[in-house]
Structure 1
Amino acid sequence: MLETINGQYIVIAVTGLIGTLAYTTQQFVLAPALGGWSSPQTLKFLGPLNLGILILSYYYYLAINTDPGKVPEGWEPPYSLIQTPDQVQAEKGETGPRFCRSCDAYKPPRAHHCRVCRRCILKMDHHCPWINNCVGHGNYPYFFRFVFFVSLTCGYALYLLVWRLMQIRNALRPVRMTEMIFIVFDVAGVFITVFAVSLLSLYHGYCILKGQSTIESWERSKVKNLIKKRKIVAVEFPYDLGTFKNVCSVLGSNPLFWLFPRSSVGDGLSYVLRPNTGR
């Protein structure tokens, strides 16, 4: 359904939602409760909130505007024998050359054709209408950091809103109607956001730990079902290098910089394989 809507409108809507929740939560609910914008308490509690909003907004910008990964023109797989397009079999991964009939070109391992972007995307994870872009090798680290900081920041905002609700419950004097309207709106908006995006960030965190993309996760589920039905023999996923190396392959080799804006690791055209599964 979202694919039928102009992606730019969706991005504008998401940006508007972030701005609206950030503004109304602080201007009409939290800042007055903390003593106003000039109060040290306001800076103490809302400073981290605004830092989180700034960081997630920056990563949202990077996820939108970073190319997810383009196959170089004329790229060919480094095999000693390259089959013609008509000879290419429906093989996956490193088992043989892969050819995209839509692009009329070879595609690297882990690349897939996106029917929305109308081109092959390096290590394609999925097409995300919320960023009006594919999520692939080039922007996946930014996308993951974005959803992580959305979860973290919204979780903190929800904590502050619940604190304010507890204050209101114990208050001896009536609360302004304006504040009540906005607190109901903000609690609902922040709760839905943190619930949905936290599930998304947990899922992608799991994928990173397993060294797989969303598409590969689906493919692995199909393979496991086929193995259970004894239609194929058991095979090992070639890109699972172990938990720590899997994370490093996406976020970088230094854990101290995993949450900092660092670009993708590697060229997206070739990947290190686990022992006994290839090169």
Structure 2
Amino acid sequence: MAWNVFRFCTGLRIVGSVMVLVVLAIVGVSYYAVVIASYGPQLLRPAASFHDIVVSLAVILLFHALLFMLLWCYFSVVLTDPGHVPQSWTPSMAEDPEAEVLPLASTGQPVAGNNSTTFVHSLPNSKVRFCKKCNLFKPPRCHHCSVCGRCVLKMDHHCVWVVNCVGARNYKFFLLFLVYTFLETTLVTLALLPHFIAFFSDVEEDSGSPGKLAAIFIGFVLNLAFALSVLGFLVMHASLVAGNSTTIEAYEKRVPSRWKYDLGRKRNFEQVFGARRSYWLIPLYAEEDMRRTPALHGVDFPCKPDLTEEEL
């Protein structure tokens, strides 16, 4: 590409910091519209019917539960390191028999190690990947992020909304953030729909101050827009998880019909969410999954055993 958007990487970092405030502002508007302007007063109204009380209580409780999970997942993505390449990591000769790692006497690309400097000599068909910017070997599925300025394990993409890369160690948290965001925005949209319709009706209602009406209108429009857009992202990432690929791999068209990392939907899912079902819906991993699933660490990934050398 002649024009590269990542030349503005510094600007993207600044925008990302602002986006955290934007997310919190949208949450604040939604909270005000649903709890304070709409269903809170309806729940506390002296003449409220039993039906109104039940509906208001259900909306408020579900809203708070989804909001808690949304914020938990969101800040888990923001604060979790997506995965950095260990300084001592080098390609295994068993994984790539065509590549040789030679000592000081050889000529080639110098690599900084823990105790000494080594040189990499890559043969014509070598699959060893080396990052000149980080001066490190690149494990499989690892990519250098121009925004973060470092290599990220199993990098999916850099997300401005979370001011972080989405990689091996926070991809699950990002997916859960999308799920709970979709559920929360859908709930708010449906909850505010009757008030939004009444906003344009000719029937006079005791609907509150102009500020509350504005909050309901803005909250409905924002949440409807986010629900529709997040649904698209969910469908896309569900397809990526099912095929055990990333956004970058799909974008680069490197996912053939027989993708070497595609081990079946069940195992593909477990490489992102783990095998313990009790942890699937929360932004945490079981210690057992971290021990038994190397892919969660973002360095080693199992491949199909029946692929030819060309397919690998």
Q: TM class, shorter-chain normalised?
A: 0.7 to 0.9
Question: Scaled by the length of structure 1, what TM-score is found?
Answer: 0.84
The 3 A distance-change label for structure 1 pair 123 and 34 is: same
User: What is the Cα deviation at residue 154 of structure 1?
Assistant: 0.8
Equivalents in 2 of 1:191, 1:31: separation in Å? Answer: 21
Matched, 1:128 2:159: yes
> What letter corresponds to residue 62 of structure 1 in structure 2?
S
What is residue 82 of structure 1 aligned with on the other side? 100
Superposition RMSD in Å: 2.8
Aligned pair partner of 2:37 in 28, 53, 58: 28
Equivalent-residue separation in structure 2 for 1:88 and 1:235 (angstroms): 28
Rounded to whole Å, the distance in 2 between the matches of 1:89 and 1:40 is 71
Of 251-260 and 82-91, the range deviating more from structure 2: 82-91
The one-letter code of the counterpart of 1:243 is R
Write the mapping of 1:20-169 to structure 2, written as runs, cut at 5 A.
Answer: 20-36=29-45, 39=53, 41-79=55-93, 81-83=99-101, 84-85=108-109, 87-88=121-122, 96-165=127-196, 169=201
Counterpart of 1:24 in structure 2: which amino acid?
A: A
Give the CA deviation at 1:189: 1.1
State TM-score, norm by structure 2. 0.75
- Larger Cα Rg: Structure 1 or Structure 2? 2
Give the corresponding residue for 1:276. Answer: 306
In structure 2, C-alpha distance between the alignment counterparts of 1:137 and 1:89, rounded to whole Å: 29
Q: For residues 32-86 of structure 1, what are the alpha-carbon distances to aligned partners after superposition, in whole Å with 9 as ceiling and x for unaligned?
A: 2444599554322210111000100011010000000011012101115435547
CA distance in 1, matches of 2:185, 2:20: 18
Residue 197 of structure 1 corresponds to 230
Alignment correspondent of 1:188? 221
Q: How many Å separate the matches in 2 of 1:33 and 1:170?
A: 21
Which of the residues 239, 244, 248 maps onto 1:206? 239
Deviates more, 1:40-49 or 1:143-152: 40-49
Matched with 1:229 is: none
Q: Is the 8 A contact 2:32 2:215 kept in 1?
A: no
Show structure 1 runs of 5+ residues with no match. Answer: 225-233
Greater shift in the superposed pair: 253-262 or 136-145? 253-262
Q: Is the 8 A contact 1:29 1:182 kept in 2?
A: no
- Identify the residue that residue 243 of structure 1 maps to in structure 2: 265
Question: What's the offset of the Cα at 1:167?
Answer: 6.2
Which amino acid is 1:63 matched to?
V
**Shift in Å at residue 20 of structure 1?**
2.3
Provide Cα deviations, 1:158-181, integer angstroms capped at 9, x if missing partner: 111113345665956454353432
Aligned equivalents of 1:111 and 1:65: distance in 2? 20
Q: Give me the identity figure in percent.
A: 27
> How far is the alpha carbon of 1:21 from its aligned partner?
1.8
